[in-house]
Structures are given as structure tokens and as C-alpha cells.
Chain A
Amino acid sequence: MAKRNPLYDFKWCPGCGDFGVKVALEQALAGRMAEKNQSIENTVVVAGIGCSGNMVHMMEGPQPFGIHGIHGRALPIAYGIKSARPDLNVVVVCGDGDFLSIGNEHIAPQARRNLDITAVIMDNGIYGLTKGQASPTTELNVVTSTTRWGKLEEKMNPFLFYLGAGVPYITSQMSSRVKELAGDIRAAMDYPGFSIVHVQSPCTTYNDTYSLLKGDEKKGIEPLAFPIEDSHDVTDITAAADLVRGRRIPIGLLYKKAGESVPLHQRLAEAKAKGNIEQASVEKLLQSMVIA
């Protein structure tokens, strides 16, 4: 809505990775709407707080519904939406601070629930909006405004965390590869369960990792990012863990749980159908308490 709204006063910095994610998300949604013959109003984009959270205001073209909620709670909001309205497409957009620090506690419950929700995580390894504090994915020893002695805490490995938490579908991508990212988001939305698209989305102001991710052959710098080979068995959780164990970041579909994914709302619907349970009226429930 931002383009048409002079009152909206937020801007991403030039070169911010989130621009690429925005375009990819717009393309993914447009593609999915066309394929399903749905209008965009059947989609809700749920954002947390941070630079990335402004995605819901920045998106151009046909507008989905949006929630720009409180810090760290995008997944719980999505849980409410999807449990109430399984007919809606629900996409969560968060940064690493929102999703992995304050919102970390909500990832494992969501993985267990396996509601059909896609989370797009923009990882820039820093708190950008609050001007450069260390995040869970900031590297060890990096000096930031809150790491006077260099970061003393180990860098979190989000992929190992997702795997351990039981997230059934995990993709890794870079914000600069917009076309591929759009396809990844589409594929994740098509997966009938909880999916995470974890995007390296550099912060040009506080943690510019573009060159690290891409490497520089001339200077002999090996790229941090590397493509996942076709031979990788995405259903093999050990193979997936092996790919992400090191410092380098594999790009592509990392993990997809073997077997059929049955989301929570489907399980509930099936249980209700199988149990042949009908909603008793309040009158009937009260009748069962009548004193005889």
C-alpha cells in the first residue's frame, strides 16, 4: 500500500535484501492466486516487528489482508487465523530477531501442530530497525552496539534448530535470487503443512554480507552460499543436518519430511468426521444438568 499512501513514512535502506524478498513474495502470491483462481483477499500476510515486518505495508499490486503484529508473535497470530479459517492462505514474514530470538518459543509448537502455514524468514544477522544490535544469527566475535567485546555468544544455527524442532519443510535461499525465491515460496505454500523459507537477506547498513555470500573468485574468497546438489535426499534428516552443520549456507530445498503431511486442521476435521460428533445445543447441554 505504501506506494499509494503518502502518510506511510517507513523506508528500507537502498540495497536492502528485503526488496528482493518483497518482489518474490508478490510473484509467488500472484502465481498461486492465478493457479487457484482465488482473489488476493483470501491471503493473509502476518508480520512481526523489525525492518522485515514492514513487508505488509510495502507490498505493491493487489493487496492481501495483513497483520503487522507485536514483536515475536507472528506464528501465534497465524495459528489463530488458520485454525479459525483453514480456507485462507497464511504467510508469515519475520526477521531473524523476531523469529529466532523473541519468537523462538513459538517455532516448535507450530511444527508439532503442522498447520498449513508458510514462514518466510529474512535473516540479516542483525537488529536493523533498532540500529545494529546483535541477533541470534550474528557471528561470534562481531562487534555491535550490544557486543562491546565482540559477540560472546555463539551464532545460532537456525537450520539445525528447525530440524530439531520438527519443522517438516525447510528451504534455504538468498534474497538476490528473486526468481528462485519466488518459486521456493510458491512450493512452500503448496506444501500442506508448516514450511519455512529461510532467506539470507543482507542489511546494507549494519551487516552487509552480499560479498561473503557470493564470494569473490579474484580475491580467492570462497562463497558462503553453495547450491544443494540434486543428489541430496530431502527426506533424509541426517543428510540435511550434515549440509548445514558447517559455517557455509546451502541453498535450495533442504528438508521435506518423508510421508504424507497431514496438517492439524485436517486431522481435526477427520477426527470429527470419524467420531461422528455433532455440536450439542446449549439447551441440550443444560438439559443434561437438570435436577431430576
Chain B
Amino acid sequence: MSKNLVVRFAGEGGQGVVGGAELMASAAASGGYHVLTFSTFPSQIKGGPAWGQARISSEPILTPGDYLDVLVAQNQYAYDHNLEDLREGGLVVYNSEEFEVADNARALGIPADRMAREAGNPLASTIILIGAVAKMAGVSIEALEAFITKRWSRGRPGDEAIVEGNINALRMGVEVAEKAGLSLEDLDPAPAHAEPRVLIRGYEAAALGAMAGGVDSFIGYPISPATTMLVYMESNLVGKDKFVGQASSEIEAINALVGTGFAGKKVMTSTAGPGVSLMGEGLGLAWMAEIPLVVVDVQRGGPATGLPTKTEQSDLTMAMNPGHGDMSTPVIACGSTEEAFWGAMHALNWAERYQGPVLFLSEASIAERAQDIPMPDLSQVVDERRVVSKGEQGNRRYAGDGVSPFPVPGGPGAYVANASEHDEQGDTTHLPDIHVTMTERRFKKLELLNDGTYEAENTDADTVVLTWGGSKGSALAAWRELDAEGVKVGWYYTMFLNPLPAKMLEELKGKRILVPELNYMGQFAAYLRSKGLNAEAITQYTGLPFKVADLKAEIKRRVQA
């Protein structure tokens, strides 16, 4: 028996390879399995090499999987370029209308498109392939049939015919695989779940976390891989006093966020690295004028246009210092689907509490994945709002050496929110002592963000792993395997990157810290060193996440070096 099944559908954009993986994952999740999808596709509507991958497991999943058990290849290119990820003993299913695989005994050609057409159900070719894969991997066919029945019984005329056609297609795939006699180890039976689970994409989790956190307005500009969040908000943030808008640029978006935050509302945008670059000056304005707002940066490969649809963690340095001058933006980075939900909520609450901009870092591999997670416990939701002025400080909006009550237009305490250095009422001044006072005031407010939590295991080890963001899954899987093997290494993790939890910093002093991260420069490691810690990066910059095996080997090598 096997705990895991990793299937990759590879082909061209527009051929439904991503949809195929998601359908397979949905079906398996419906049958009780844990699932996680991962996809990569070019930045074009149709064509170009694309693939979608589904990992299906009887145990909770941390990563998309290092190697494939089954590769479904739609064309020669997909076969040639994905075969290296197939594990030894893995199977290939290929589109035999497109090309032939002559020299591979563990490859099965299926003319799925033709079969689907001949069966009068041309849209069902993916289901034929899923049937074949399921049969080969020992996934319960009954569970898949039950899923198909549920999925396409939508209370519309013709439902029955569609369900029947799709079950028929599934059985055609099963039959082809049976005849071929190719199989993998059977997948473990699905676990039982006492609590309800949701199948959710990363961007949906972030959007819902933001909505749980009380976001009032969302204004964005389309950019891969952050558009999905804007689209989700456009569809779902629809209440009477809610506003969702498509700006004409990221510059317009960030300044509209400033206006919205100034007007007393909780506001957010989603963008990617190029957008954050354009937002730099506006973020400085929010810092200077003390306006709460949140920018979600769904990181992709950079710099410039870079790799728009690939994953990378190379925006951390920018996230902490997006604008010119003395500023330090609070940063929260999610490392899992659950953290996408809770992190977005925390980011909004942080912005309100310290009255300034917060960067929430996600990345392509988290935003685009679909995963089953336990239903978030909504009793833990907090919708924190800024302290609003009742006129107690008159128009001295910036009085005091920390956060002060926020005058909201329409209420008392009119002042000028000023991008220039200013006095207590917001009027421009260039006096040195006021610049000193105000600069210190702005930094002092960061002390309010001292509630960041962190994970810590094997805290007595001299060497620890401390990763961030989307590398959490791979790093945690690697660390667990090393720990099980008796390699003495600790685990630390937090999604609160700036400011870092003070107690964690204290505990890390004197330790050797290994920092897996997806960028060339080792940005988080450099940041940790600036905090007086002994940190060294383990980097990768392929546009893809770490493989667990690679990371495990590298951590082990360094621990033993």
C-alpha cells in the first residue's frame, strides 16, 4: 500500500491540464483523501507548456510532492520535459493521437479525445484519463462515481444525462487501464474525518481571511498571480457599504487605498512584485501620514516582468522597505493555506492597531494551490478597528509619542494627513527637532505589533531551520524526516516577519540558523543577520518550490559540515 499518489497532467495551456488535476483532487477529497494541487502555466490565454499536479494522500499534505507517480502527457513536449520528475517505477499515460512512446514499457497510450468524441461526450476526455489513472493507482472507482454524481447533479434539466455520460467516460478509462495491466501500489484507504473540511484555494483563503477581518474596500489592478484575489473580491465583497474597484494602475490603487484608509475604512489590495515597486511612494505616504492599509503581494519570479506565473520569494527586502526614506513596513508572510486565511486577517488588524501600511506576502505556489483544510474556527476571528478620535485632542492628530486616536472625516478633529514632515496637526514643517520627534513616533508604533506567534521544536539544538512563507511546507517535511532519523536540528517558524517575535529572536541568539528560501540573495537570512543572528541561506531560484529530498540533503550536509 502507498500513502501518496502524485499525478501530473502536462500539455498545453487551454487543454485543461490544470482543470484535470483539480478535478482529480476534488474527486479524491470528496472520497476523504487529503489533497493539494500545484500548477504552472505560461502567461498566455492558450498554448504554451502548462501542467497541473494533484497530490492525494491518506495523511495531511505539506508539499505538492517531489516526484510523480503518474505523468499524463498530452504531447511530445510535455512527455520530454516532465519525464525527469517521474519516480522510478512510475507510470505514463499519454495522448496516443498526438504522439507515440515506443521505448517505455510503463507507458500507456490512450486516444482519450477520440474516445470521448465517439462516445458522444467530447468534453469528457479528461474524465477518461482520470478513470485510467485511478484504476492504475487503486483509487476507489465507486468513490469517483459518487463524486461525479454529486458534482453534476445541479438541479438542472439534463443533469442525469451528463452524470451518466461522465460515469461512462470514467469506466472507459478504467477499462483501458485494466486491459493494459499496468498498476502502481494501491493507495491507502482514505482516512475518516470527524470535523468538516473545506477544499479551498490559497487566494480564496486569503480573501476570506480578509473578509473575516472586516475588510470594507478592495481596490486592485490585474496582475499575475494576484488577479484571482481581486476577482474573488469582486464576486463576493458585495454588501451595501462594501466597495471593490479595478484601478487604472497600481499607483492609482495604492493612493486610492490611502484615501480609503484616511476615510476610516479597512482596505486592502492584491498585487505582485511589479505592482509593489510602483506602490513604493504611496506606501511611504501611508507610513508618513499614518494611514492603515494592507497590500497583499503574491510573489512571482522577478525582477521586472520576470516569471509572471512562477513562484519565488524574492520580494521580502522590498516588502520591508518599499519606499524611500526611513520606514519599516510590518510584514506578515503566509506559509500555508491556513496561514493565508489567518495572516490576511492579522495584517488588517495590525494596520488598524499601529495605523500604517502592512505588507502581506503570499506567493504563486500558495495562491494557486487548492487544498483540503479543516474548516477555519471562526470563533477565533478578530476584527480589530483603530481607536477613533472623539475630538479629545482637538486637531492635534499627531500628538504624543505613539499611536493616537484617529480622526475620521465627518467627525471631530480635522487635520491634514501630510506626505511632508509635519507637526502635530499635520502642517508642513522642516524643523529638525520635529523631524526627530515624528520619526521616532512612527517607529515606536511598531512596538504595538508584539503579538506575533511562532513555532519552536527541538529548541535545545545548536543548529535550527528557520524558513519563511511558502517554503514552510518543504522545509517542515524535510525537518521532520531529519528529526525522525535522529539528526539533531531544531525548527523555528513564524509568519510574523517584521517585527519578528521578540522572544523568538532571544531564543535564536547564539544558534546557527539555516534559512531555506526561494531567492538568490538570501534575503531573509540577511535580515536575520541584521538582527545579530547567525543565519545562512539555502537558496533556490528555479521558479519552482523546493523538493523535500533536495532540502533534506542540503540541511543534513550543512548540519554535519
Residue A15 is within 8 A (CB to CB) of chain B in the complex: no
Do A67 and B410 form a contact, CB below 8 Å, given A7-B434, A8-B427, A278-B239?
Answer: no
Q: Is A81 a contact of B263 with CB atoms below 8 Å?
A: yes
Residue B141 is within 8 A (CB to CB) of chain A in the complex: no
Q: Which residues of A contact B245 (CB under 8 A)?
A: 79, 83
Pick the contact of A283 from B197, B254, B378, B431 — CB < 8 Å?
B378
22 A–B contacts from the bound complex (CB under 8 Å): A9-B431, A43-B409, A57-B428, A65-B414, A68-B426, A76-B247, A76-B259, A77-B258, A78-B259, A80-B257, A80-B259, A80-B262, A81-B259, A83-B219, A84-B260, A105-B249, A105-B251, A105-B252, A277-B238, A289-B198, A289-B199, A290-B197
Residue B420 is within 8 A (CB to CB) of chain A in the complex: yes
Nearest residue (CB) in B for A273 is B240
Q: Which residues of A contact B196 (CB under 8 A)?
A: 290-291
Q: Is A292 a contact of B30 with CB atoms below 8 Å?
A: yes
Q: Which residues of A contact B515 (CB under 8 A)?
A: none
Q: Which residues of A contact B254 (CB under 8 A)?
A: 76
| Per-position 1/0 for B418-446, Cβ under 8 A of A | 11100101111111001000000000000
Q: Which residues of B contact A82 (CB under 8 A)?
A: 259
Q: Is B412 a contact of A67 with CB atoms below 8 Å?
A: no
Q: Is A68 a contact of B208 with CB atoms below 8 Å?
A: no
Q: Which residues of A contact B430 (CB under 8 A)?
A: 9
8 smallest CB-CB distances across A and B, nearest first, come from A80-B259, A279-B239, A76-B255, A80-B256, A109-B248, A66-B416, A80-B260, A81-B259
Q: Which residues of B contact A78 (CB under 8 A)?
A: 259
Shortest C-beta distance, A94 to chain B (Å), equals 13
Q: Is A109 a contact of B252 with CB atoms below 8 Å?
A: yes
Residue among A42, A67, A73, A108 with max Cβ neighbours from chain B (10 Å): A67
| Per-position 1/0 for A1-21, Cβ under 8 A of B | 110010111100000000000
Q: With A and B bound together, what is the CA distance between A268 and B217 in angstroms?
A: 13
Q: Which residues of A contact B416 (CB under 8 A)?
A: 1, 56-57, 65-68
Do A41 and B258 form a contact, CB below 8 Å, given A279-B238, A283-B378, A286-B208?
Answer: no
Q: Which residues of B contact A8 (CB under 8 A)?
A: 423, 427-429
Nearest residue (CB) in A for B204 is A289
Residue A46 is within 8 A (CB to CB) of chain B in the complex: yes
Given contacts A66-B414, A68-B417, A73-B255, 10 further A-B contacts (CB under 8 A): A7-B423, A7-B427, A41-B410, A68-B420, A69-B255, A70-B284, A84-B264, A85-B265, A87-B410, A282-B212
Nearest residue (CB) in B for A78 is B259
Q: Is A57 a contact of B427 with CB atoms below 8 Å?
A: yes
Pick the contact of B414 from A63, A87, A291 — CB < 8 Å?
A63
Q: Is B200 a contact of A1 with CB atoms below 8 Å?
A: no
Give the interface size bracket for A toward B.
35 or more
Residue B150 is within 8 A (CB to CB) of chain A in the complex: yes
Residue A122 is within 8 A (CB to CB) of chain B in the complex: no
Q: With A and B bound together, what is the CA distance between A1 and B425 in angstroms?
A: 9
Q: With A and B bound together, what is the CA distance between A143 and B350 in angstroms?
A: 51
| Per-position 1/0 for A100-112, Cβ under 8 A of B | 0000011011000
Do A285 and B259 form a contact, CB below 8 Å, given A67-B289, A88-B410?
Answer: no
Residue A44 is within 8 A (CB to CB) of chain B in the complex: yes
| Per-position 1/0 for B301-322, Cβ under 8 A of A | 0000000000000000000000
Q: Is A282 a contact of B285 with CB atoms below 8 Å?
A: no
Residue among A44, A79, A106 with max Cβ neighbours from chain B (10 Å): A79
Shortest C-beta distance, B510 to chain A (Å), equals 43
Q: With A and B bound together, what is the CA distance between A82 and B381 in angstroms?
A: 29
Q: Is B251 a contact of A10 with CB atoms below 8 Å?
A: no
* SS class, residues of chain B in contact with chain A: mixed
Residue A40 is within 8 A (CB to CB) of chain B in the complex: yes
Residue B157 is within 8 A (CB to CB) of chain A in the complex: no
Shortest C-beta distance, B132 to chain A (Å), equals 24
Q: Which residues of A contact B150 (CB under 8 A)?
A: 292
Q: Report the number of A-B residue pairs with Cβ-Cβ less than 8 Å.
A: 207
Q: Is A290 a contact of B259 with CB atoms below 8 Å?
A: no
Q: With A and B bound together, what is the CA distance between A21 and B321 in angstroms?
A: 38
Shortest C-beta distance, B41 to chain A (Å), equals 23
Q: Is B429 a contact of A7 with CB atoms below 8 Å?
A: yes
Q: Is B248 a contact of A70 with CB atoms below 8 Å?
A: no
Q: Which residues of A contact B66 (CB under 8 A)?
A: none
List B residues 365-422 near A (Cβ within 8 Å).
Answer: 372, 375-376, 378, 381, 395, 407, 409-412, 414-420
Residue B6 is within 8 A (CB to CB) of chain A in the complex: no
Q: Is B428 a contact of A54 with CB atoms below 8 Å?
A: yes
Do A291 and B198 form a contact, CB below 8 Å, given A63-B414, A282-B211?
Answer: yes
Q: Is B255 a contact of A81 with CB atoms below 8 Å?
A: no
Do A81 and B199 form a contact, CB below 8 Å, given A1-B395, A5-B427?
Answer: no
Residue A272 is within 8 A (CB to CB) of chain B in the complex: yes
Q: Is A66 a contact of B426 with CB atoms below 8 Å?
A: yes
Residue B216 is within 8 A (CB to CB) of chain A in the complex: yes
Do A81 and B409 form a contact, CB below 8 Å, given A66-B416, A268-B243?
Answer: yes
Nearest residue (CB) in A for B216 is A84
Residue A136 is within 8 A (CB to CB) of chain B in the complex: no
Do A67 and B259 form a contact, CB below 8 Å, given A42-B409, A57-B416, A85-B264?
Answer: yes
Residue among B237, B258, B375, B378 with max Cβ neighbours from chain A (10 Å): B258
Q: With A and B bound together, what is the CA distance between A70 and B325 in angstroms?
A: 14
Residue B81 is within 8 A (CB to CB) of chain A in the complex: no
Q: With A and B bound together, what is the CA distance between A10 and B429 in angstroms?
A: 8
Q: Which residues of B contact A2 (CB under 8 A)?
A: 427
Shortest C-beta distance, A99 to chain B (Å), equals 14
Q: Is A77 a contact of B255 with CB atoms below 8 Å?
A: yes
Residue B267 is within 8 A (CB to CB) of chain A in the complex: yes
Q: With A and B bound together, what is the CA distance between A54 and B255 in angstroms?
A: 19
Q: With A and B bound together, what is the CA distance between A77 and B219 in angstroms?
A: 12
Pick the contact of A272 from B29, B211, B240, B411 — CB < 8 Å?
B240
Q: Which residues of A contact B262 (CB under 8 A)?
A: 44, 65, 67, 77, 80-81
Q: Is B211 a contact of A285 with CB atoms below 8 Å?
A: yes
Q: With A and B bound together, what is the CA distance between A66 and B419 in angstroms?
A: 11
Nearest residue (CB) in B for A113 is B245
Nearest residue (CB) in B for A283 is B378
Residue A64 is within 8 A (CB to CB) of chain B in the complex: yes
Q: With A and B bound together, what is the CA distance between A68 and B211 in angstroms?
A: 30
List A residues 250-292 near B (Cβ within 8 Å).
Answer: 268-269, 272, 277-280, 282-283, 285-286, 289-292
Q: Which residues of A contact B265 (CB under 8 A)?
A: 84-85
Nearest residue (CB) in B for A46 is B259
Residue B281 is within 8 A (CB to CB) of chain A in the complex: yes
Q: Is B428 a contact of A79 with CB atoms below 8 Å?
A: no
Residue B282 is within 8 A (CB to CB) of chain A in the complex: yes
Q: With A and B bound together, what is the CA distance between A278 and B240 in angstroms?
A: 8
Shortest C-beta distance, B280 to chain A (Å), equals 10
Residue B531 is within 8 A (CB to CB) of chain A in the complex: no
Do A73 and B260 form a contact, CB below 8 Å, given A67-B417, A80-B267?
Answer: no
Shortest C-beta distance, B538 to chain A (Å), equals 35
List A residues 124-145 near B (Cβ within 8 Å).
Answer: none
Pick the contact of B197 from A56, A76, A105, A291 — CB < 8 Å?
A291
Q: Which residues of B contact A73 (CB under 8 A)?
A: 251-252, 255, 282, 285
Q: With A and B bound together, what is the CA distance between A9 and B434 in angstroms?
A: 13
Q: With A and B bound together, what is the CA distance between A84 and B219 in angstroms?
A: 11
Shortest C-beta distance, B103 to chain A (Å), equals 41
Shortest C-beta distance, A61 to chain B (Å), equals 12
Q: Which residues of A contact B199 (CB under 8 A)?
A: 289, 291
